[in-house]
């Protein structure tokens, strides 16, 4: 969707209520919108969880990964906007903690993100991940001096598994390569974004 309000209005017509939008800052803050929508403000946060039916949690992405979470019992859902900074800071872990349910009873879906063949990062990105978890080194493949190919999907699966989430699907897209399907900031330097939404019915 374009950042002109038209896309948001169209999406609102397709879901039970106007989505609860975030002012995404590539961090790990989580909000818990209620039925009142917290006055419809856009808080500085990169994840949202809710136990209220009909509350639509949303994130915007264009190479960063949307991670959708739902309990098997159908009593809590969440969504996280996960780029490398959010991953390194622990946004997935923060969203899971906010759900307050057994991670073994959580289903996760990894939405469209830039794939490992297209996502090149510098030494500082690898260092940030390895400082938090040395096991993250498996997600990095050297490309040229001081640069690495980063597999965000591998990082997501690793982080989820470490927290006890075993049912993970998705993770087979590349927003950069799939030109006809997805927006990509790295490919187009576009302001357009895709929305990922989740709610309890």
170-180 pLDDT tens trace:
999 999 999 99
| Spatial CA neighbour of 88 closest among 155, 140, 145 | 155
Pick the CATH number of 6-115+167-198 from 3.60.140.10, 3.40.190.10, 3.40.50.1400, 3.50.50.60: 3.60.140.10
CA 132 to chain centroid, in Å, comes to: 19
Asked if the model's pLDDT at residue 168 lies above 80, the reply is: yes
Mean pLDDT of 18-45: 86
Instruction: Please state the pTM of the whole predicted model.
Output: 0.93
Asked if the model's pLDDT at residue 83 lies above 80, the reply is: yes
Per-residue pLDDT band at 6 (split at 50, 70, 90): confident
Check residue 140 and give its pLDDT. 98
Asked if the model's pLDDT at residue 3 lies above 70, the reply is: no
Check residue 115 and give its pLDDT. 97
Annotated domain spans of the chain: 6-115+167-198
Q: Token pair of 87, please? A: 């991953």
- Looking at the chain, the whole-number percentage of residues with pLDDT higher than 70 is 95
Asked if the model's pLDDT at residue 37 lies above 90, the reply is: no
Per-residue pLDDT band at 4 (split at 50, 70, 90): low
60-77 pLDDT tens trace:
999 999 999 999 999 999
pLDDT averaged over every residue in the chain: 94
Mean pLDDT of 122-134: 96
DSSP assignment of 13-72 equals TTSSS--B--B--SS--EE---TTGGGG---B-SEEEE-SBT--EEEEESSSEEEEEEET
Decide: 48 and 33 in contact? Cβ < 8 Å. yes
95-107 pLDDT tens trace:
999 999 999 999 9
Burial class (CB within 10 angstroms; exposed 0-12, middle 13-18, buried 19+) of 152? buried
User: In whole angstroms, what is the distance from residue 64 CA to residue 175 CA?
Assistant: 9
User: In whole angstroms, what is the distance from residue 26 CA to residue 91 CA?
Assistant: 9
Asked if the model's pLDDT at residue 38 lies above 70, the reply is: no
Decide: 132 and 90 in contact? Cβ < 8 Å. yes
Angle between helices 152-162 and 91-99 (to 10 degrees): 40
Check residue 36 and give its pLDDT. 59
């Amino acid at each position: 969707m374009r950042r002109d309000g038209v896309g948001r209005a169209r999406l609102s017509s397709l879901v039970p209520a106007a989505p609860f939008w975030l002012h995404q800052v590539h961090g790990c803050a989580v909000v818990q919108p209620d039925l009142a929508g917290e006055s419809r403000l856009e808080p500085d946060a990169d994840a949202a969880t809710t136990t209220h039916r009909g509350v639509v949690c949303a994130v915007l992405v264009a190479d960063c990964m949307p991670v959708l979470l739902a309990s098997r019992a159908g009593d809590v859902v969440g969504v996280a906007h996960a780029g490398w900074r959010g991953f390194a800071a622990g946004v997935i872990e923060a969203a899971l903690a906010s759900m307050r349910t057994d991670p073994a009873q959580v289903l996760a879906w990894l939405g469209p993100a830039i794939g490992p063949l297209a996502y090149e990062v510098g030494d500082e990105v690898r260092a940030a991940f390895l400082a938090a978890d040395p096991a993250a080194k498996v997600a990095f493949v050297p490309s040229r001096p001081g640069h690495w190919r980063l597999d965000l999907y591998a990082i997501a699966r690793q982080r989820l598994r470490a927290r006890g989430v075993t049912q993970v699907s998705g993770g087979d897209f590349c927003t950069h390569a799939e030109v006809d399907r997805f927006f990509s900031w790295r490919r187009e330097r576009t302001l357009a974004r895709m929305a990922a939404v989740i709610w309890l019915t």
